[in-house]
């Protein structure tokens, strides 16, 4: 009886073992890219096309064409042309979908909480669809396409009091005012919006090798690749000190970083760490 019971349980044990060994599904996948994206992962630069798994802390930069990322069953992110984003958090698994938008346009449709931060604006929503623009002139803007949202002006890296936006509400940062100014989207905003953002985001069906494609490494990151991020007031930038510390071994990278950020406290400590107690010192 005991032997028979062992054989009866064997298929269940094998199935459990196979399931435990199966690789976890990627949290997010680049499903659409008319042109390859530039991906900064770790301290290296890659070329990324459809099918790659997108990871937390990835920097994604589009060129002349847009792209789309699908994060589990509950979120789709579209990137406009000439757009730079840092992925701060991803669903599923993460509590929310969080992005830092340095430049360009994003459209995010999510059934989970989400946040998009630009140098001048922070947008939060429980669920719905939002379109955010980072213009680089301090007048970043948001259109709350679906669902109630909140928009707050960011000053010196800190978000102020939030302004509530109903569905189809628009708000733009005015550098002279403490809160974003609500109103109707101006013609300039509508004209500049990527045409694909006017339609509801849709999933890409039957993408081959979704999450299994490998980005192509091009080289280690130069200072010019990451300078706009290192000098930006955005969430997540404090992690850049340990992230790019290894690049300080490159003489040219170190020289340029010292020139631009050498007096910033975090980088100053990385560039000139204090001597360890008992370490030998030179007399010359």
**DSSP states of 173-189:** --TTSSSPEEEPPPHHH
Count Cβ atoms below 10 Å from residue 62 Cβ, excluding itself.
23
pLDDT of amino acid 2: 44
154: nearest Cα among 166, 169, 142, 146 = 142
Distance CA 73, CA 60 (A): 21
Count Cβ atoms below 10 Å from residue 225 Cβ, excluding itself.
20
pLDDT of amino acid 215: 97
pLDDT of amino acid 24: 56
Burial category of 118 from C-beta neighbours within 10 Å (exposed 0-12, middle 13-18, buried 19 and up): buried
Judge whether 98 and 114 are in contact, CB under 8 Å.
Answer: yes
Tell me which of 2.60.120.1440, 3.40.50.2000, 2.150.10.10, 1.40.20.10 is the CATH number of domain 29-198.
2.60.120.1440
What ranges do the domains of the chain cover?
29-198, 222-271
DSSP 8-state assignment for residue 148: -
Residue indicated by tokens 């001048």: 120
85: nearest Cα among 126, 38, 127 = 38
Please state whether beta strands 97-110 and 114-117 pair in parallel, antiparallel, or not at all (unpaired): parallel
229: nearest Cα among 60, 91, 108 = 60
pLDDT of amino acid 273: 87
Distance CA 79, CA 123 (A): 16
pLDDT of amino acid 94: 67
pLDDT of amino acid 227: 97
| Helices (H), ranges, the chain | 2-21, 187-192, 223-230, 240-243, 251-261, 265-271
Distance CA 37, CA 59 (A): 10
pLDDT digits (tens, 9 = 90+) for 93-116: 667 899 999 999 999 999 999 999
DSSP 8-state assignment for residue 62: -
154: nearest Cα among 100, 113, 198, 97 = 100
pLDDT of amino acid 70: 94
pLDDT of amino acid 208: 82
Low-confidence stretches of the chain (pLDDT < 50) are 1-23, 281-284
pLDDT of amino acid 5: 41
CA atoms lying within 13 Å on the CB side of residue 129: 14
Judge whether 220 and 249 are in contact, CB under 8 Å.
Answer: no
Judge whether 51 and 210 are in contact, CB under 8 Å.
Answer: yes
């Amino acid at each position: 009886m005991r032997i028979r019971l062992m054989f009866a349980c064997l298929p269940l044990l094998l199935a459990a073992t196979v399931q435990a060994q199966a690789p976890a599904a990627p949290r997010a996948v680049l499903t659409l890219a008319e042109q390859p994206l530039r991906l900064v992962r770790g301290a290296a630069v890659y070329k990324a096309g459809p099918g790659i798994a997108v990871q937390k802390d990835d920097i994604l930069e589009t060129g002349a064409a847009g792209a789309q990322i699908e994060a589990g069953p509950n979120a789709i992110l579209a990137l406009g042309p000439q757009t730079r984003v840092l992925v701060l958090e991803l669903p599923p698994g993460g509590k929310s979908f969080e992005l830092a938008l340095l430049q360009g346009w994003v459209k995010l449709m999510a059934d989970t909480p989400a946040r998009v931060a630009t140098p001048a604006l922070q947008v939060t929503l429980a669920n719905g669809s939002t379109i955010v623009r980072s213009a680089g002139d301090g007048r970043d803007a948001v259109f709350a396409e679906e669902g109630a949202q909140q928009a707050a002006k960011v000053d010196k890296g800190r978000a102020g009091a939030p302004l509530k936006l109903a569905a189809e509400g628009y708000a733009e940062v005015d550098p002279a005012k403490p809160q974003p100014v609500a109103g109707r989207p101006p013609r300039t905003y509508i004209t500049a919006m990527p045409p694909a953002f006017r339609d509801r985001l849709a999933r890409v069906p039957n993408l081959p090798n979704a999450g299994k494609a490998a980005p192509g490494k091009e080289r280690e990151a130069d200072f010019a690749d990451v300078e706009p991020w290192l000098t930006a007031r955005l969430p997540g930038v404090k992690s850049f000190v340990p992230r790019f510390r290894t690049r300080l071994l490159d003489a040219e990278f170190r020289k340029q970083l010292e020139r631009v950020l050498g007096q910033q406290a975090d980088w100053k400590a990385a560039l000139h760490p204090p001597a360890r107690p008992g370490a030998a010192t030179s007399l010359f």
